[in-house]
Structure 1
Amino acid sequence: MRVATVDGLVTLFYDGSKEPYNEELHHEFQDEWYNRLNSKYEEWNLSEECRNYWNERQSWEQVIIEEGVKEIPDSSFLSCLNIKRVVFANTVIRIGTSAFVHCQSLVYIRWSASIEFIGRQAFFYCNLSSVFIPPRCTTVESCAFVGNKNLAIFSTPLETELGYNVIGHTKLLNDSPFELDSDGHTADNAAINEWLKNINNDDKYSLHRTCASHQPLKEVIFSVIDKKGLGAFKEKNGIGISPSRYLKENPYCDLRELEIIQDYVMKMMGEI
């Protein structure tokens, strides 16, 4: 592992050669935190090794997973409170349990196109507003995105198996048609998962489905517009989101609604 500044962010380049998480040092810090809730951090009775461990983890603002890494081990970046961005190499297949739990500043993920498995509580209580699960992902385990309070967009392949309470305590679930109890839960987890998978799969939301895909293509968007017209951009789905919102939120998409409309009009005029 090495650290450098990229785009103004202190960036950890993770190559898998060293485990970033140390269970013993983490427990030492947590025990002291519980015992000294009202005291200053500088006064805590921590070993120098533990203090250095914690300070280093809190310095990271971006994580870039390097090519060749296939798995992010359990708890790797647990409680790294200042990580804002994570960029996965396309070699990453598996993200372990609690890998990014309580990364409360995390707002941006660029996924691996090869990802197949996202573990339990992997992104528990982060700060994501949108998630675009890649098409090869077969499993998203329980509570993977719980507590991302601003999460309003969740796009997942129909074939992906979703666990229990994947999106609990999020804006998306709060805005859903389901009745929630005082803890923000609902008993009908299967119905929620079915709803999640089909938010945009009704034929009238074909433009939503295209824009919410892992890598939206202009040619596919054009084919939908051919059938539905440019007015399809104004059509909101069942949770009040327009297709262009997906384009804006998708980290894989460099297309914008205005550019698409301009190019489409030029295409109709025979100029492109």
Structure 2
Amino acid sequence: MRVATVDGLVTLFYDGTKELFDEDLQDEWDDELLEYDAELHQYRCKNIAHWESWDLSNECKQYFRERLSWEQIIVEEGVTVIPISTFSYCCNIKKVILANTVIKIEAATFYNCSSLVYVKWSMSLEFIGPKAFFNCNLSSVFLPPSCRKIDGDDTFARNENLKILNVPNDTKIDTFHDIYIMIHRTELLERSPFECTTISESSLSEYKFVNTWIKTLNNDEKFVLHKVCCSYQPTIQDIHTLILDKGFKAFQEKNNVGITPSEYLAENPYASIKEMDIIQYFIQEMTE
């Protein structure tokens, strides 16, 4: 593994040859954090200054200096699994680029990476573990068609700005603990029809329906343009057919959580077309 500056970001090129997470050193940090401020404990290193003045071993300080220096992770070709907690508590990571050989992201892999705003997903990804992206800063997630299973225990919880989550219809979402909902404390859940924004006995009964709702959010016929725009590799022809029927105003129609087809298309990393491409195609077809 090597570290270099790429696009202005301190970048770790991860090849899977070294175990990066040390549970003992993490425990040492946590004990000091509790002494520093118990209320901040759940957020670990987020918004904590002067941590080097804590009573930590030199080994622990060096461990966190290294982990807090990384701003981008590039997972290299050949890596198939990112082990449990590999990048957890690396609070300054902003971008993650996964090689297409990555099949599994295990539990808590990017746990509490509170600056993480962008993930380029592996097109071979099959599994995401519990709490894998807990307390990150993702605003949109489009999982690839290869994703077969998600352990839904807090997988994307506490991504407060998460508004778009597109999960393939045949992806299985498991939850082993009813109170740990996959999108707990996200903007998407707050906009949902469910009363699951806080953990209470009255809301637990609804948790089991959230996973199905996530995958079928745009299944209503009136949201078919939304579904196409957030699908894998939408085509101009498919959208053009809908526009002929609905008109361009349909691009600004909001679904039940307030998202427009335009927003889906703009955020969709698998869409090689832009809204202007569709407009130009429409005009060309209408004038021929």
TM-score (normalizing by structure 1): 0.92
In the alignment, which residue of structure 1 is the partner of 2:56? 46
Q: 1:243 to 1:123 in 2, by over 3 A?
A: same
More deviation in 219-228 or 53-62? 219-228
Aligned: 1:6 with 2:17: no
Residue 223 of structure 1, CA deviation: 3.7
Given the alignment, which residue of 133, 136, 145 partners 2:156? Answer: 145
Residue 227 of structure 1, CA deviation: 4.3
Aligned: 1:155 with 2:171: no
Q: 1:229 to 1:210 in 2, by over 3 A?
A: same
C-alpha distance in 2, partners of 1:115/1:227? 36
Q: Does the CA contact (< 8 Å) of 2:91 and 2:114 recur in 1?
A: yes
In the alignment, which residue of structure 2 is the partner of 1:67? 77
Residue 187 of structure 1, CA deviation: 2.5
Letter in 1 for 2:168: P
Residue 255 of structure 1, CA deviation: 2.8
Aligned: 1:175 with 2:206: no
CA RMSD, 1 decimal = 2.0
Q: 1:75-86, aligned counterparts within 5 Å? A: 75-86=85-96
Letter in 2 for 1:200: N
Letter in 1 for 2:189: L
Q: 1:58-137, aligned counterparts within 5 Å? A: 58-137=68-147
Unpaired runs of 5+ in structure 2? Answer: 39-48, 176-180
Unpaired runs of 5+ in structure 1? Answer: none
C-alpha distance in 2, partners of 1:36/1:178? 37
In the alignment, which residue of structure 1 is the partner of 2:46? none
Residue 254 of structure 1, CA deviation: 4.4
Q: 1:36 to 1:204 in 2, by over 3 A?
A: closer
Percent identity, aligned pairs only, is 50
Cα deviations by residue, 1:141-198 (Å, 9 ceiling, x for unpaired): 1210011111111111111112331111111111111123643854322211121111
Residue 205 of structure 1, CA deviation: 1.6
More deviation in 40-49 or 138-147? 40-49
In the alignment, which residue of structure 2 is the partner of 1:249? 267
Q: Does the CA contact (< 8 Å) of 2:88 and 2:109 recur in 1?
A: yes
In the alignment, which residue of structure 2 is the partner of 1:26? 26
In the alignment, which residue of structure 2 is the partner of 1:237? 255
TM-score (normalizing by structure 2): 0.87
Letter in 2 for 1:33: L
C-alpha distance in 1, partners of 2:234/2:96? 21
C-alpha distance in 1, partners of 2:237/2:19? 43
Q: 1:181 to 1:42 in 2, by over 3 A?
A: closer
In the alignment, which residue of structure 1 is the partner of 2:178? none
Residue 120 of structure 1, CA deviation: 0.4
Q: 1:129 to 1:211 in 2, by over 3 A?
A: same
Q: Does the CA contact (< 8 Å) of 2:114 and 2:136 recur in 1?
A: yes
C-alpha distance in 1, partners of 2:136/2:73? 14
Residue 61 of structure 1, CA deviation: 0.8
C-alpha distance in 2, partners of 1:172/1:186? 18
Residue 87 of structure 1, CA deviation: 0.9
Q: Does the CA contact (< 8 Å) of 2:52 and 2:61 recur in 1?
A: no
Q: 1:45 to 1:171 in 2, by over 3 A?
A: same
C-alpha distance in 1, partners of 2:37/2:190? 32
C-alpha distance in 2, partners of 1:219/1:20? 47
SS, match of residue 111 in structure 2: coil
Aligned length: 270
Q: 1:88 to 1:214 in 2, by over 3 A?
A: farther
Residue 213 of structure 1, CA deviation: 1.5
Q: 1:72 to 1:181 in 2, by over 3 A?
A: closer
C-alpha distance in 2, partners of 1:109/1:215? 18
